[in-house]
Amino acid sequence: MQMDFLHENYEAAEGASMPRSVIYSQYLRYCRHRLGNIVPMNPASFGKLLRLVFTGIKTRRLGTRLSQFCDCRHAACSCSDMLYILLLGYDMTQSLIRRGRLYSSCVRSSMLHGSETWPVRKENEVALQRAEIRMVRSMCNVKVKDRVPSMELREKLGIDDIILILQQNRLQWYGHVL
Q: Tell which residue, 69, 77, 97, has the closest CA to residue 154.
A: 97
CB 99 within 8 A of CB 159: no
CB 76 within 8 A of CB 29: no
pLDDT tens-digit map of 34-48:
766 677 778 877 777
Q: Give the range of the structural domain holding residue 170, as residue numbers without chain letter.
A: 96-177
pLDDT for residue 60: 59
Q: Are strands 10-12 and 59-61 parallel, antiparallel or unpaired?
A: unpaired
Q: Which of 76, 107, 132 delimits the end of a domain?
A: 76
CB 136 within 8 A of CB 154: yes
Q: From CA 61, how far away is CA 20, in angstroms rounded?
A: 10
Q: Is residue 65 domain-shared with residue 102, that is, in the same domain?
A: no
**Is 65 inside any structural domain?**
yes
CB 20 within 8 A of CB 80: no
Q: Is residue 101 domain-shared with residue 70, that is, in the same domain?
A: no
Report, as an integer, the average pLDDT of 55-71: 52
**Is 88 inside any structural domain?**
no
pTM reported for the whole predicted model: 0.52
pLDDT tens-digit map of 99-115:
888 888 878 888 888 88
Q: How many residues does the chain have?
A: 178
Is the pLDDT assigned to residue 93 strictly greater than 70? no
CB 177 within 8 A of CB 117: no
Q: From CA 89, how far away is CA 21, in angstroms rounded?
A: 16
pLDDT for residue 42: 81
**Is 85 inside any structural domain?**
no
Give the number of domains in the chain: 2
Report, as an integer, the average pLDDT of 77-99: 62
pLDDT for residue 176: 65
The fraction of the chain above a pLDDT of 90, given in percent, is 18
Q: From CA 148, how far away is CA 156, in angstroms rounded?
A: 12
Q: From CA 59, how far away is CA 70, in angstroms rounded?
A: 5
pLDDT for residue 70: 45
**Is 26 inside any structural domain?**
yes
Residue 74 main-chain phi, psi, to 5 deg: -85, 140
Q: Is residue 119 domain-shared with residue 50, that is, in the same domain?
A: no
pLDDT for residue 88: 62
Q: How confident is the model at residue 53 (pLDDT cuts 50, 70, 90)?
A: confident
At 10 the three-state DSSP class reads: strand
Report, as an integer, the average pLDDT of 14-31: 76
